[in-house]
């Protein structure tokens, strides 16, 4: 029997032929691109673009969007080019039991190059996710711009960047760097909320080594220019470094488990057998008697959070401070803490940027923030001054002043000078401030204060060292101890270290329904948003 039938207006196919055509078309697209590239990647232990989606979504089950989309370019041989799924698979499914949207670039299909309709698919995925209120995960693995499409590629980038910006603060966005991501396209993962980079295969750069050499004459390897060390350690653009594709996707799932699906929801609470009032006796001895002797703040974090689980972000950058996620009695919280083991926990330019960005993300997605404070101040000196420590440090002040989520500060030891605000205090917006008996809270340390206030007296004294020691002790006893701050209401309670977990959980219970309407200003004036020092 013929596969064709006639009707008064023309000729059409029978259903069997239509169904077979669909099946053949799907099979051709599902085979993906260059088989040699697919085999090479497989031998190297990398997943292909579709396998990555299967690993991400629960049970490997996802619904693809835009499978049949094709480019429309005819120049430079593009009329003969076959690019399955336009080099990127866009899909939705469930991750950790909740809906999510993802796109996965396919390096086997014309090297995953970004052209007009490749960009259209990624842009649509983000718009779709934003409208439905789902988080989005982008898997980047592309040689960069598809130059054959000229202005169409250029404009597609702009539409993608605009979509990302409009979705920012509405839905969480996570970028996975699983292969190369070079050229203008490199802005795309950096503009998302979190970037997870595979250690050996992920490369991110505004230009590759060949382009760098051509344009400015610098000779540099791909590894030195844009590997994980360039971004996780130096530039502070990569949040988490992983060993391979699977660990990268696993970390994305871990992050998503802390986040609400969108800015209208609360983060998901999880059952735990860890008692909310559990005493942590080891903390009573963790702070050294010497005020400037370091201790590991990560031990404090793991001791007080649920089940000792802390997912640190930006671990390799600005190591004097720590950011990350944990839970208290099942509630997700953001942790912002000093690390005395590294430069005394000081806040420098990079630390300020790291903290401000993290605080704003938590605030946008209704995640309470707990700070653990031991900081002698902002970094001083000519290099920091000339590089803009005031401008960068002010980002923390903007972030705290505008934050609306529950804010809890635990002052463990030093809380001096600008760091008093940068690490969160009452005056900048904290709901609760608790201090350990070891806390030292004042404008500057006693040594510094004595050298200024009593400089003349010390200089003219017969026994300068004796007078200096006496005055330092006097200032310390008068101002540095936490009771002066408590007397002024700057500290809500001075607590034993072993009760820290109990007090944090009680504060979170009380603040569970804290609500500050967006755009609220205590002085009742209308404004769009603050002009943050970028």
Whether the Cβ atoms of residue 192 and residue 138 lie closer than 8 Å to each other: yes
What is d(CA 533, CA 240) in angstroms, rounded to the nearest whole number?
26
What is d(CA 151, CA 430) in angstroms, rounded to the nearest whole number?
49
Residue 236 appears among annotated catalytic residues: no
**Angle formed by the axes of helices 297-304 and 500-510, to 10°?**
60
Residue 297 burial (10 A CB sphere; 0-12, 13-18, 19+): buried
Q: Which of 419, 430, 439, 485 is catalytic?
A: 419
Residue 77 appears among annotated catalytic residues: no
Q: Which of 66, 87, 179, 183 is catalytic?
A: 183
Whether the Cβ atoms of residue 339 and residue 375 lie closer than 8 Å to each other: no
The DSSP letter of residue 39 is H
309: which residues sit within 8 A by CB, 6+ positions away?
A: 302, 326, 327
Handedness of CA 255, 256, 261, 265 (dihedral sign): negative
Residue 419 appears among annotated catalytic residues: yes
Q: Which of 87, 119, 184, 377 is catalytic?
A: 184
Handedness of CA 367, 369, 370, 372 (dihedral sign): positive
3-state class of 206 per DSSP?
Answer: coil
What is d(CA 497, CA 179) in angstroms, rounded to the nearest whole number?
45
Pairing of strands 4-7, 10-13: antiparallel
The widest CA-to-CA distance across the chain, in whole angstroms, is: 118
Show the DSSP H helices in 332-412 as ranges: 349-364, 382-387, 389-402
Q: Which of 418, 445, 446, 449 is catalytic?
A: 418
Residue 208 appears among annotated catalytic residues: no
323: which residues sit within 8 A by CB, 6+ positions away?
A: 312, 313, 314, 334, 335, 336, 354, 355, 358
What is d(CA 530, CA 409) in angstroms, rounded to the nearest whole number?
24
Pairing of strands 311-313, 321-328: antiparallel
**For residue 90, how many C-alpha atoms fall within 13 Å in the half-sphere facing its CB?**
21
Residues marked as catalytic: 183-184, 418-419
């Amino acid at each position: 029997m013929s596969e064709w039938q006639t009707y008064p207006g023309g000729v059409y196919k029978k259903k069997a032929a239509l169904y077979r055509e669909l099946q053949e078309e799907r099979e051709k697209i599902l085979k993906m691109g260059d088989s040699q590239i697919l085999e090479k990647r497989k031998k190297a232990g990398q997943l292909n673009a579709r396998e990555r989606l299967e690993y991400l979504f629960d049970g490997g089950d996802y619904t693809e969007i835009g499978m049949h989309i094709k480019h429309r370019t005819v120049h430079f041989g593009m009329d003969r080019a076959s690019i399955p799924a336009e080099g990127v698979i866009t899909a939705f499914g469930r991750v950790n039991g909740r809906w999510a949207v993802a796109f996965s670039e396919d390096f086997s299909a014309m090297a995953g190059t970004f052209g007009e309709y490749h960009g259209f698919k990624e842009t649509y995925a983000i718009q779709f996710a934003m409208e439905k209120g789902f988080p989005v995960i982008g898997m980047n693995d592309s040689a960069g711009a598809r130059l054959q499409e000229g202005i169409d590629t250029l404009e597609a980038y702009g539409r993608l960047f605009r979509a990302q910006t409009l979705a920012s603060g509405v839905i969480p966005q996570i970028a996975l760097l699983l292969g190369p991501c070079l050229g203008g396209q490199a802005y795309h993962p950096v503009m998302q909320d979190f970037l997870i980079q595979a250690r050996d295969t992920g490369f991110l750069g505004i230009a590759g080594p060949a382009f760098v050499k051509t344009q400015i004459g610098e000779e540099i390897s791909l590894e030195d220019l844009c590997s994980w060390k360039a971004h996780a350690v130096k530039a502070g653009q990569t949040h988490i470094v992983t060993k391979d594709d699977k660990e990268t996707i696993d970390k994305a799932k871990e992050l998503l488990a802390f986040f609400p699906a969108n800015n209208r929801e609360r983060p998901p609470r999880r059952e735990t057998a860890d008692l909310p009032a559990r005493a942590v006796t080891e903390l009573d001895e963790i702070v050294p008697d010497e005020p400037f002797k370091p201790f590991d703040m990560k031990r404090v974090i793991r001791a007080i959070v649920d089940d000792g689980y802390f997912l640190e972000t930006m671990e390799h950058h600005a190591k004097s401070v720590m950011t990350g996620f944990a839970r208290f009695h099942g509630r997700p919280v953001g942790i912002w803490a000093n690390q005395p083991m590294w430069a005394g926990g000081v806040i420098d330019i990079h630390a300020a940027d790291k903290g401000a960005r993290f605080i704003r993300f938590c605030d946008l997605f209704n995640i309470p923030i707990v700070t653990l404070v031991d900081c002698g101040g902002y970094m001083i000196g000519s290099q920091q001054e000339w590089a803009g420590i005031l401008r960068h440090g002010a980002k923390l002040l903007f972030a705290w002043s505008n934050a609306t989520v529950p804010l809890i500060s635990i002052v463990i030891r030093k809380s001096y000078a600008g760091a008093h605000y940068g690490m969160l205090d009452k005056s900048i917006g904290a709901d609760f401030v608790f201090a350990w008996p070891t806390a030292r809270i004042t404008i500057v340390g006693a040594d510094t204060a004595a050298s200024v206030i009593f400089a003349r007296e010390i200089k003219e004294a017969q026994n300068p060292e004796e007078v200096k020691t006496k005055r330092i002790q006097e200032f310390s006893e008068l101002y540095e101890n936490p009771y002066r701050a408590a007397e002024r209401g700057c500290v809500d309670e001075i607590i034993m270290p072993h009760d820290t977990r109990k007090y944090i959980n009680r504060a979170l219970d009380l603040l569970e329904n804290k609500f500050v309407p967006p755009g609220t200003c205590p002085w009742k004036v209308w404004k769009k948003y603050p002009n943050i020092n970028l």
